[in-house]
Amino acid sequence: MKKIFGFGSRKGESPLGSLTSRQRTGVGVRPETGNRVTLGPGYHIRDKDLGKIHKAASVGNVRKVQRILLLRLNGLNDRDRMNRTALHLACASSHSEVVTLLADQKCQLNLCDSKNRTALIKAVQCQEEECATILLERGADPNIMDIDGNTALHCAVAAQNMDIAAKLLLYKADTEARNKV
């Protein structure tokens, strides 16, 4: 008989066993089907799509990210199948320590994912003010547009997050930028 409802677990093993406590409690990430997890608005993560550095960054494992970089197992700006960097994933999952580490290691702050979103846009979408601040302080461009023409400021205003919007304005976010909507 064919197994219909397999959750990737073996007999006697919890299907949530491989998730972090943050994932199990549903704070910032939630389990979906199989080994797929959603990080904030719009990021779906499948284990097989990620490099070692992406996995470590998405769960906030600073030591492992440091070790991966030291051993050159992955590069600082390596991308996954959706063109996301470790910085994108750390911002989407509120791991400011990993964001700081990657920024201090001089990763490229303005790389875009497959929807042309920078890590700053992702941090703003996910309401991660600390991560957004770290990126802005280190020179991230607040005026890059995603595929819909939205900048980080558009995302902050759409989410009604005036603290982040004010911070973006301090870092010269363009108030005249027009999106496609």
The range of the structural domain enclosing residue 105 comes to 21-170
Q: What is the CATH number of the domain that holds 120?
A: 1.25.40.20
SS3 assignment, position 19 = coil
Which tokens is 47 given? 């284990």
Number of domains within the chain? 1
In a domain, 34, yes or no: yes
SS3 assignment, position 157 = helix
In a domain, 43, yes or no: yes
Please check the confidence at residue 59 and state whether its pLDDT lies above 50.
yes
In a domain, 139, yes or no: yes
In a domain, 14, yes or no: no
How much of the chain exceeds pLDDT 90, in percent? 70
Task: Please answer whether residues 39 and 89 qualify as being in contact, where contact means their C-beta atoms are separated by less than 8 angstroms.
Answer: yes
pTM across the whole model: 0.77
> How far does Cα 65 stand from its chain's mean position?
14
Lowest mean pLDDT among 41-45, 48-52, 56-60: 41-45
Task: Please answer whether residues 57 and 80 qualify as being in contact, where contact means their C-beta atoms are separated by less than 8 angstroms.
Answer: no
SS3 assignment, position 139 = coil
In a domain, 103, yes or no: yes
In a domain, 2, yes or no: no
In a domain, 7, yes or no: no
In a domain, 64, yes or no: yes
Please check the confidence at residue 11 and state whether its pLDDT lies above 70.
no
Which tokens is 122 given? 């992702």
pLDDT band at residue 41 under the 50/70/90 scheme: low
Residues 64-118 have pLDDT tens digits of 999 999 999 999 999 998 999 999 999 999 999 999 999 999 999 999 999 999 9
* Pairing of the two strands 36-39 and 43-46: antiparallel
Task: Give the whole-angstrom CA distance, residue 162 versus residue 174.
Answer: 15
Task: Give the whole-angstrom CA distance, residue 109 versus residue 88.
Answer: 9
pLDDT at 146: 95
How much of the chain exceeds pLDDT 70, in percent? 76
